[in-house]
Structure 1
Amino acid sequence: MDSDVCMISASGRTLLHVAVIAGNLENVEKLVKVGKDTLICMKDQHGYTALALVARYTGNTDMAKCMVETKNGFRKRLLEIQNKENVIPILIAAANGHKELTIYLYSKTPSTVFDGDDSQNRVLLLSLCITAEIFDVALKLLKRYKELPKESLSLYKFSVPKSLRGSLSLPSNESHQQSLSDKFSALVALAKMPSAFPSGIRFSRREQFIYDILCVESKFRHNHDFPDIANFVRKVTRIPVDERPQKTSFVCQHGFDRRVLNCLLFVMLSVWHFCKQLVSIFLVWPVKLLGLLLHWIIHRIAYLFIRCFNCLNIFGVRRIYELKYTHYEVIGILGYFCQSIGEFSSRELEDALAYEGMLHGAQHGIIEFINAMKEANLGLLSAIDSCNRGIFSYAILNRKENVFQLIHCLNGRSEIFRNRIDKFDNNLLHLAAHLGPSSDLDSRSGAALQMQREIQWFKAVEKVVHPKFKEAKNGDGKKPFEIFTENHDELMKLGEKWAKETATSFTIVGTLITTVMFAAAFTVPGGNNQDTGLPIFLNDSVFTTFLMADALSLFTSATSVLIFIGILTSRYAEKDFLKSLPWKLLFALSFLFLSVCSMIVAFCAAIAMILKGYRTYKWFIVGPTMSLGSIPIMVLVLSQLRLMNEILRSTWKNTIGNVKL
């Protein structure tokens, strides 16, 4: 070996260290071949080997492979060498978010590094992998070490090295006596990752269809040996049906004797079941079997298409597949933690920051996290912060509909949460009166629909709380509705401005269409007969189509203009934004859309009548004209259909207070 290769600079770095920092793979391979084990294991003044510098700076897996792997195996000792803070290379790679390198180093690092009574390396690696979203390694660690969830959630028995504290969001000024604020909690980290859960991703309809039909269970079970993952995922992503509040029947409310009622019910149910059996034998079962067969065939065809799209990466199927697989990994990690959470005492839950994790989960709307933790330990639902605000307070303040709906699934326990008052004497309705976050408001197309959404939230919470809270005053002496009016004054003005500008723009379009179609009704194609004054094409079916389309376009455009004028002259009170204004806007847009379609039909019919005598070239002109006539319709559909659909969905029913199954 050439002694010049092992020369050390003032900083203690060799040529190999310099080549690694420069990212020159070719020179690294040459130096490794020449310097061998001696050069590879040399440290700089901070205790970093060349492999540790790869983990810290470049994250280049090929560089790591050329150092770790040999013809006879791999260099185990290199993977165990610590720097001056006793940190091994895989921890450095995870701390810097190098996913591919971390997965590779984990496959090569000897298990003895993580085994034994000293849990520092395995706990730190788990924590770093979760923060860096390297869920594959985290899941393998949890599977290998059954006590790891409890070890990582308990207070650390060691001090976290200074170079790793930033990656774990811990204060850099390390104290000898560890306080609760210095404690890293994997639960809190997961609760701050909404994009790692299905509820945190907003898909288009096409993407949602692809996501639902993709199957990752078999691959996940093969890689991580988690046989019940599909059932666990379904369990935590849905609101439990059996916990929904049961409604009291009408007859019981009106004083019928229960014995008489039971007899009547028994007779009625017997007759009903008998009739139902007859119908099912002769009608329902054949239809059901046919439906199941068609569903299976369609599902298999769709599955084959998706597999082909995945291979060719069409429609982003590969990205969606990887995203769904990541969701399964995260929910699997959460499952391991929940197994330990179920055995924790109240004090241990506080040390693990489980209550804080519940609040963060509610703040980010991670329903999977809330459901899983609730199933593990029901007492976690009572989590409160320093202001005496619980998970439903956070859900209302941050407009997380899926978490708020859980309040309907708690049966008798819901009263505790419905009547909660924070330290400022605010009840849930006071909190709903505050303006929602911009992330929720921006999901609506215009200020008017944003205002509608805010009113819907206020109405949904109003149905939940006790009637006395509607007029209750908080610490500032304000009632919920007064706070709502005060906080939404600016939004209401913006909503009024948006609605008037929209109505004004479409009024101009509608007026123009009305004028054109009115004139077209009296200047019919082909002219009139000079003797009778009747249109020449009166008996032509195309002329009938022209008249009907012209009349329909005229009347619908005039109707839309009148509705838009009604919008312009509305009083714009708060309650108008809930139903009246959106319905007016929806009907006006629908009539305008119908008038444009009718106008195009009338235009095409007129062209066909004018060119009636030119039989040779008639369809060479009419065909392209009709095709071009569809362009305005397509433009209108693409530009306004989304708005119309959004208005319809948001106005038809307030889904905030309803449980989605």
Structure 2
Amino acid sequence: MGFVEELVALLDKQGEDLAALRDSYGATALFNAARAGNIKAAKLLVNKMPDLPNICQNNYLAPLHTAVRYGHKELTLYLLNITRNDVDPSPFSNLPGFELLRRALTVGFHDVALRLVKSYPHLATCKFNYAHYDDVADDSDEALTPLTVLAKRPWAFRSGSCFNLWQRMIYHCVPVKLNHFLSQPNRGGMQNQVGSHELSTQMCCWTRLFKACRKVNAIFKKLVGCLVSPIKHIQETKTMHSLTLQLLNHLCTEVLKDPRAEEIFRESFITGAKYGIPEILEEIIKSYPFALEYLDENVLKLAVSYRYEKIFNLICATGMHRELIIRTRDDSNVGNILHLAGELAPPHRLNLVCGAALQMQRELHWFKEIEKYAPRTFSESENKKKEKPKMAFINAHKELIKEGEKWMKGTAKCYTLAAALIATVVFAAAITIPGGNHDDTGIPNFSKEKAFKVFAASDALSLFLSIASVLICLSILTARYAEDDFLVALPRRLIFGLVTLFLSVTFMMIAYSCAIYLLFGEKKAWILISLGALACLPVTLYGIWQFPLLVELIFSTCCPGIFGKHSNRPIR
């Protein structure tokens, strides 16, 4: 920063004009600051020459475009506020404006994109062929509109985000902060306070104490950061999804005013279906009801081939699914729609589910769902390989069935070992009763204590449940592992094995806590409370690590699952 100040001062002395100092591409010094994200240097340059943000390169792109391209949010907002529109050429008109909007969408600056569309509505319908511009990088040579560009960004929508159970719970709980990206935390205050405190510290002992406190404070901040950072990230993601929906709504509103609305909506609709973004399809249908005509057999094939269950549910919500399935013609290579459902899902869609057994279950769900609506003649027709849909499904999933069997047996073996260990421990505890027995009567010495009754009941329940878990897991190990067993039979056994194992661990910890309390508690409440809190630790850890798998098993086996979840947003 000192170098920039000295350089600007030197140029002032020599009478050099900052606008005249350009490289071979026509870029000024502000472009370099924008590329590096150096907002202090940018402000210094702008203070020396206020017109610098409006001076474009040879390709008519301003420093604002460079800041957006390299993802510097704070500098982007600063330049956006000071870049004028009343210059020629304007950074917000035609290609420069659309390129700015495209770059904002690419790097995820959806609040900036929304602001651009609201301030310059003409950007919503601009369409340019990127092949004509060397500095614009895109994955194709086709001409795109902002709505189509947005339809290629599945990660910007809720449907394109993959969260685990705990992340989904946090996602639904955290509030949306629409001004979150506009605020920047000030981290200088605390450091200044620490420095001034160290300067005012004179005694050696106080200095050591203060350094120790700083270390403890740093450790505490790291611990809090480990908890707060994931929540903050999820909140930012939810905010981005909210901004994206607002941007989508505004784009559709502006496109409706354009004479090319039908063309733009059709292109964006097909692109949204290709990338599996139901929000795009829903908003277009809501804004332009004639878009229901775009829901043809090609969209259905995309949904089935790429396993876009939300797109399929959207088709079902319109009531057109049976008609489209019947209208699908046999392909010379693949066969009918059932053959398409029998193919193995793409890896990026298959890996959305953890475990090969659950992946196989989801594949079966897809095949059964399409089979439910398809005419019976579809099940008997053959593809190019002379395979009926069921046989094509089995052949395509041979490796996945083997992997599912391996995963299921490995999981069952782990649960069997844990359950057998618990059964051994609680059986030994039942024989060696805490406190011993009365010498004359043989009755346990603590038989009249409430804690002993809780111990006896918990120990017995833990023993019975752990043995049940062992037997259930053994039934998994000896199963036949046919393809249809992955749909209900095997997952249901794993659910019961998991539940019984979890309950046996819980009751074992209760029994252990009661035994310790009887021997050493001396009828003091604080000891009982402490033991209860400590007993919750292993149970909680088990729940945190295994509960998501249990919920996913229950959801996919005992609930409607991924199908039948029609959107609450109006379709017709």
Instruction: Tell me if TM exceeds 0.5.
Output: yes
- Equivalent position of 1:90 in the other structure: 64
In the alignment, residue 51 of structure 1 is paired with which amino acid? L
Q: Percent identity?
A: 34
1:602, 1:118 → 2: CA distance?
74
- Equivalent position of 2:172 in the other structure: 209
Aligned ranges for residues 316-327 of structure 1 at < 5 Å?
Answer: 319-320=233-234, 322-327=236-241
1:317, 1:610 → 2: CA distance?
43
Alpha-carbon offset, residue 405 of structure 1: 0.4
Question: Are residues 1:648 and 2:554 paired?
Answer: yes
In the alignment, residue 185 of structure 1 is paired with which amino acid? T
1:68 pairs with one of 42, 46, 53 = 46
2:280 pairs with one of 352, 356, 369 = 369
- Alignment CA distance shift 1:604-1:382 (3 Å): same
Deviations 1:323-344 (A, max 9, x none): 4443343333323432354466
* TM-score, normalised by the number of residues in structure 2: 0.78
Aligned ranges for residues 482-501 of structure 1 at < 5 Å?
Answer: 482-501=391-410
In the alignment, residue 41 of structure 1 is paired with which amino acid? A
1:595, 1:324 → 2: CA distance?
38
Alpha-carbon offset, residue 610 of structure 1: 4.1
Q: 2:459·2:511 contact (CA, 8 Å) conserved in 1?
A: yes
Deviations 1:71-101 (A, max 9, x none): xxx533x444444444444344444444443
- Equivalent position of 1:14 in the other structure: none
2:555, 2:91 → 1: CA distance?
58
How large is the RMSD of aligned CA atoms in angstroms? 3.7
1:591, 1:116 → 2: CA distance?
65
- Alignment CA distance shift 1:654-1:435 (3 Å): farther
In the alignment, residue 543 of structure 2 is paired with which amino acid? V
Give the secondary structure class of the aligned counterpart of 2:144.
coil
- Equivalent position of 2:315 in the other structure: 407
Q: More displaced, 369-378 or 419-428? A: 419-428
In the alignment, residue 165 of structure 1 is paired with which amino acid? V
Alpha-carbon offset, residue 588 of structure 1: 1.6
1:122, 1:525 → 2: CA distance?
79
2:268 pairs with one of 339, 353, 357 = 357
Question: Are residues 1:30 and 2:9 paired?
Answer: yes
Deviations 1:415-436 (A, max 9, x none): 1356323744533322222222
Aligned ranges for residues 406-425 of structure 1 at < 5 Å?
Answer: 406-412=314-320, 415-416=323-324, 419-421=327-329, 423=331, 424=333
2:497 pairs with one of 588, 592, 596 = 588
In the alignment, residue 366 of structure 1 is paired with which amino acid? I
- Equivalent position of 2:253 in the other structure: 339
Alpha-carbon offset, residue 406 of structure 1: 0.7
- Alignment CA distance shift 1:315-1:366 (3 Å): same
Question: Are residues 1:508 and 2:417 paired?
Answer: yes
Question: Are residues 1:110 and 2:81 paired?
Answer: no
Alpha-carbon offset, residue 41 of structure 1: 2.3
Q: 1:40·1:67 contact (CA, 8 Å) conserved in 2?
A: no
In the alignment, residue 109 of structure 1 is paired with which amino acid? T
Question: Are residues 1:434 and 2:307 paired?
Answer: no
Deviations 1:116-168 (A, max 9, x none): 99734333333333334343443333233433333x13x56x98432x222x4
- Alignment CA distance shift 1:118-1:634 (3 Å): closer
2:82, 2:93 → 1: CA distance?
20
- Alignment CA distance shift 1:53-1:509 (3 Å): closer
Give the secondary structure class of the aligned counterpart of 1:453.
helix
1:40, 1:401 → 2: CA distance?
55
Q: 1:359·1:390 contact (CA, 8 Å) conserved in 2?
A: no
2:231, 2:505 → 1: CA distance?
37
- Alignment CA distance shift 1:579-1:159 (3 Å): closer
1:461 pairs with one of 342, 363, 370 = 370
Aligned ranges for residues 155-194 of structure 1 at < 5 Å?
Answer: 160-162=132-134, 164-166=135-137, 168-169=138-139, 181-194=141-154
1:138, 1:29 → 2: CA distance?
33
1:460, 1:506 → 2: CA distance?
32
Q: 1:460·1:656 contact (CA, 8 Å) conserved in 2?
A: no
Aligned ranges for residues 111-126 of structure 1 at < 5 Å?
Answer: 111-113=85-87, 119-126=94-101
1:644, 1:331 → 2: CA distance?
33
1:110, 1:623 → 2: CA distance?
67
Give the secondary structure class of the aligned counterpart of 1:658.
coil
- Alignment CA distance shift 1:414-1:146 (3 Å): farther
1:624, 1:324 → 2: CA distance?
39
* TM-score, normalised by the number of residues in structure 1: 0.69
Based on CA coordinates, which of the two structures has the bigger radius of gyration? 1
Aligned ranges for residues 246-285 of structure 1 at < 5 Å?
Answer: none
Alpha-carbon offset, residue 444 of structure 1: 2.7
Q: 1:358·1:391 contact (CA, 8 Å) conserved in 2?
A: no
Q: 1:210·1:320 contact (CA, 8 Å) conserved in 2?
A: no
2:408, 2:305 → 1: CA distance?
26
In the alignment, residue 40 of structure 2 is paired with which amino acid? D
Aligned ranges for residues 531-570 of structure 1 at < 5 Å?
Answer: 531-570=440-479
Q: 1:32·1:66 contact (CA, 8 Å) conserved in 2?
A: no
- Alignment CA distance shift 1:34-1:456 (3 Å): farther
Q: 1:524·1:535 contact (CA, 8 Å) conserved in 2?
A: yes
The alignment of Structure 1 onto Structure 2 pairs a total of residues equal to 518
Question: Are residues 1:138 and 2:113 paired?
Answer: yes
1:201, 1:61 → 2: CA distance?
32
Q: 1:419·1:427 contact (CA, 8 Å) conserved in 2?
A: no
Question: Are residues 1:330 and 2:290 paired?
Answer: no
In the alignment, residue 208 of structure 1 is paired with which amino acid? Y
Alpha-carbon offset, residue 190 of structure 1: 1.0
2:111, 2:21 → 1: CA distance?
31
1:79, 1:118 → 2: CA distance?
15
Q: 1:373·1:380 contact (CA, 8 Å) conserved in 2?
A: yes
Q: Can you give the 5+ residue segments of structure 1 that lack an aligned partner in the other structure?
A: 1-18, 171-180, 223-312
Give the secondary structure class of the aligned counterpart of 1:334.
helix
Alpha-carbon offset, residue 584 of structure 1: 1.0
- Alignment CA distance shift 1:632-1:165 (3 Å): closer
Give the secondary structure class of the aligned counterpart of 1:393.
helix
1:510, 1:578 → 2: CA distance?
25
Alpha-carbon offset, residue 552 of structure 1: 1.6
- Alignment CA distance shift 1:335-1:607 (3 Å): closer
Give the secondary structure class of the aligned counterpart of 1:45.
coil
Q: 2:92·2:98 contact (CA, 8 Å) conserved in 1?
A: no
Q: 1:359·1:394 contact (CA, 8 Å) conserved in 2?
A: no
- Alignment CA distance shift 1:39-1:553 (3 Å): closer
- Equivalent position of 2:538 in the other structure: 632
2:359, 2:285 → 1: CA distance?
32
Q: 1:52·1:92 contact (CA, 8 Å) conserved in 2?
A: yes
Q: 2:322·2:374 contact (CA, 8 Å) conserved in 1?
A: no
Alpha-carbon offset, residue 647 of structure 1: 1.3
Give the secondary structure class of the aligned counterpart of 1:165.
coil
